[in-house]
Structure 1
Amino acid sequence: MNFDLTEDQALLKAAVERFVSDSYGGDLEARRAARITPAGFSTANWARLAESGILALPVSAANGGLGGGRVELAACMEALGRGLVAEPVLDAAIIPGKLLDGAGATAPLDPLMAGTTLVALAHAEREARYNLAHVGTTARAKGDKVVIDGIKSAVLAGGTADVLIVSARLSGGTRDRDGIGFFQVPANAPGVDRRSYRLADGSVAAEIALRGVEVAASAQLAEGLDTLTPAVATARLAAAAEMLGLMTLLFDNTLSFVKTRTQFGQSLGSFQVIQHRMTDAYVLVEQARSQVVRAALTPAEDFARAAAGAKAFVAEAALTVAHTAVQMHGGMGITDELVIGHALKRIRVLALTFGDATAALDDYRRAA
């Protein structure tokens, strides 16, 4: 079977790689400068991503997007991961874009794809423990409006989001799969209390409290957890592909380091134990690549299960490769002076997106 990218797919990936080269060029200073901004990323780079169409990748052509498939998505996210890009493509484009596209909500999609409005999904809650059906936030009708009350945790890209997609319970118990609605809420609406904080990789997330927040009844985008499921599966594939890019970056940098770093009068790479560790890391990188490709090519009816399995495997493999890279570099491997520490921290955040490896494997098992 031919796993090579088509001409169009290769051109799309090359465009992402040009963006990485032009915006970052392998220079950590550019990444540091982007991370210390209040948003945690470069707004100029975000505009460039919008111009290139990357923000429109997960949106169907019927809704004005590129209508990219899973292979295109994986190829682009791998390139962004290898470039250690600071912009929240996964958090503020793929997740909300896929959710809005599936709900048929075209109005908020246009500014999202144009890069002029930052949209974030506010779904997770402290007591949920990665259970997507756990929604304690409530939504009750009040005339032609809806009143939302609740607290959302770990809202990725929520620190500077302009619009929130808030899940709230319309009926049923806290962990019922039915009775969950999704609402478009302006982040500056009265009653929205946002506390921003930095994640391990320097990105900006938020704890968001909604106290009597009133929105129009028309702000409801969709009802039912099935609206979220495709977005979760797509996000898991995207996270796995980004981690694959990070693994490749870590491996290449570490291989170059052990070839040139001398100890006891010879290069580190000449020691057999180092060769064994690097061989193990290489195998994990290639196994992770196989998992990403397999998930991207899986038929639609099995995609959610394949994406969960891929993310579970790649997350564990990426952490192992990252820890190996840190050990090979010694104490400086964990500092901000090298890409190793930056990549490790990003992998840790991605590994927990929509559940850790155990949670992803539970979804994989249930779908069997």
Structure 2
Amino acid sequence: MTDSNVIVVVDPVSSAVYFGNAIQAKGYRAVALISVKKLSASLKRLQDLKEFQHIVYAEDLDSAIELLSRLRVCAVVPGSDLGVCLADKISNYYGLVGNLIETSLSRTDKGSQKATLIRKGVAVGWGIEMEASDDKRETLKLLKYPVVVKPCRGTGSRNVKMCTNISEVDESISNIRNNAEARGDEERKVLVEEYLGGEEYFAVTANYGISGDKQLICFAVYEKITRGRSPSVYKNIRSLPLDDGRAQFAFRYVKAVNAALDFAYGINDVELKIGLRGPLMIEQNGRVPGALVPKLIGLCTGVDCYQLALDIYLGEKVTPISSLVFQRHFCICCLISERSGVVEKINGLEEVQNLKSFNMMSLHVDVGDHVDLTLDFLSSWGMVFLVHDDLDVLQAESEVVHEKLSLQYQSRRV
């Protein structure tokens, strides 16, 4: 692999694994640069690298530059939250299009995100970053409960807990700090934050450069359920029309968030709630959204998010897409396991596949596998993707998915 024009995707996970074919379609060689070799099982299953022609392993900038030294690196793309900081550093080293390395942390660390927004005058709920349960303990006693405790660098709502008193906060902090899957102290930092009321949404934005041009390319609402102290058990993710009043209201806020966090180039998503105080950020994700949302945007609008992102990072002259309309809509049904156990049978597969809106299905379990109780996004046992031009059809058929598609468990031995 020498003297090749390549595009590097750093730590591609979930939707970003599909950059491989998009890169090759543009006439470049696709390189997956892996900086984190040891992923949790739930993330590892989302890192299928078969579309990439080359896979290299580098934990830091120096080793990455050494491995890439014989190549002509033409663009660098962050493939997950794990890869944002290193992608920024590599693009800066080569003088390529990318976001500022000085503010990379504010695009990856949830505590830093909140602090940056507060400093720059963008509305956001309060949060306290903690490194040990005893740190700032006196402050915890004064909090208005409930609060949410989460890892500053977590993903998929893993280890996110709602707490109603200081004892539950202590327990949640301890669980994060003792998490066997955490990679170093950075992933053991904890954010204690205000619990926000209101409906939860995400907005996907194309950011065209330091000129400030930004475009809303997807707006969707989350339907979640609370299980015990786990507030983010995903059930459905539904796209909404871009001219919906909530979408336009949220986008004005999201533009301010991205500007404050110096996200000038590429496609990212911002999760937020809209309540009595208006839109307030939950978190910003400095890479393309997961759950195959880029592919679904393409199915519904004709816009190829992968080609669009690559054009931006390649420094092509890209302007906002005219007349961007969702001709169809999507619903992502996240499959919820009601208990742990060994799968004996999966019910309802044929009925779901025969739905008018059925597009595709991704199951993470098979007969004979052990599944855990679903407590977050990553512990969902699969996803069903529905696409249709009628929102009412999507609503009705998503209910069918959750009613019919279920796990039958082996009997427990006494």
Using the size of structure 2 for normalisation, the TM-score is 0.28
Give the number of the structure whose residues are more often strand, by fraction.
2
TM-score computed with the length of structure 1 as normaliser? 0.31
